Amino acid sequence: MSTVTTGPSTTTARLEASGVTVRFGGLLALDSVDLAVPPGGVVGLVGPNGAGKSTLFAVLSGLLRPDAGRVRMGGADVTRASAAARARRGLARTFQRPELFSGLTVREHVVLADRVRHRGGRILRDLVTGGGLRRPDAGEDERVDAILDSLRLADLRDREVSGLPLGACRLVEVARALATGPAVLLLDEPSSGLDGRETEELAATLARVNADHGVSLLLVEHDVELVLGMCGTVYVLDFGAMIRSGPPEEIRSDPAVRAAYLGAETSPQRGAQDAVPDEESR
Ligand SMILES: Nc1ncnc2c1ncn2[C@@H]1O[C@H](COP(=O)(O)OP(=O)(O)O)[C@@H](O)[C@H]1O
Ligand SMILES: [Mg+2]
């Protein structure tokens, strides 16, 4: 194992998996997989259904302990750290099915996340004493408005999320994640269920989140074109093995990748497998 370094650096990966192996009984779901999300990077992880994408996502976010291998954040080993501990270190995520509070407005979702970030444990005290819960923190309005503006959600700020289309709910999830001040944002199938226009809007939003807020992104995606279009580095998983990684233009033209995934629609063996909808919803 390499020496652990701490503190931000321009080269140390914000999030890194090395030699990650996961077995489910006799099934090797991940076979010594490596992946790195560099500072400011936009990284994509693609692969056919059953390749192990969600399993790796769970390992990175702290929901699943690998049987072997390491996960690091900014060089620090977090393999045994809980999801909450990783969140405190700057890891945020979205869900394939947005996990929002139906009675709250768009703005309230962002306010809540901002208060958790800026009040931390004091929120618990406020819950007991009743003090301060409704009182905005200094700068809160400005921070929340900046995020809503940046994500083009200002017009929807006072709408309850229950009445919003899925595309808008995805943006609310991203806004809420952003309000926690993350270093890395993990997105689980962000385009699933979205139409073409919503997918384009999401891609533009994510590009701004990366460029304007300096957040590194890891997209775990079924939509290969989305990933090839917006990621600087793309990793390809197939049957638990990381078969390729590189810039989109290399991935697009790689014969092994085409055989495993890009040509899936024309491959008879894979055609049947890919017809099965992705049930996963973590
Ligand atoms: N909790 C589990 N128990 C047993 N097998 C699992 C479990 N989760 C996933 N698998 C299996 O591991 C493999 C990888 O699954 P998954 O990570 O969900 O793939 P993907 O997200 O790329 O579609 C699949 O063969 C799947 O059936
Ligand atoms: Mg999956």
Give per-residue pLDDT as tens, 225-251. Answer: 899 999 999 999 999 999 999 999 999
Q: Which pLDDT band holds residue 2 (cuts at 50, 70, 90)?
A: very low
Q: Ligand 1 within 6 A of 48 CB?
A: no
Return residue ranges of the chain for CATH 3.40.50.300: 36-66+82-90+183-282
Nearest CA to 102 out of 160, 150, 53 is that of: 160
H or E segment and range at residue 193: none
Is 142 in contact with 85 (CB distance < 8 Å)? no
Q: Which CATH architecture has domain 36-66+82-90+183-282?
A: 3-Layer(aba) Sandwich (3.40)
Query: Distance, CA 202 to ligand 1 centroid (Å)?
Result: 27
Is 23 in contact with 32 (CB distance < 8 Å)? no
Q: What is the pLDDT of residues 161-202, one digit of tens each?
A: 998 999 999 999 999 999 999 999 999 889 989 999 999 999
**Which ligand 1 atom sits nearest the alpha carbon of residue 51?**
22
Query: Distance, CA 5 to ligand 1 centroid (Å)?
Result: 33
Q: Ligand 1 within 6 A of 44 CB?
A: no
Nearest CA to 261 out of 20, 13, 53 is that of: 53
Query: Distance, CA 29 to ligand 1 centroid (Å)?
Result: 6
Taking the whole predicted model, whether its pTM rises above 0.95 is answered as: no
3-class secondary structure, 165: coil
Q: What is the pLDDT of residues 58-71, one digit of tens each?
A: 999 999 999 999 99
The per-residue pLDDT for 117 is 80
On the question of pLDDT at 6 being above 60, the answer is no
The per-residue pLDDT for 241 is 96
Please list, in sequence order, all residues whose beta carbon lies within 8 angstroms of the beta carbon of residue 163, skipping any fewer than 6 positions away: none
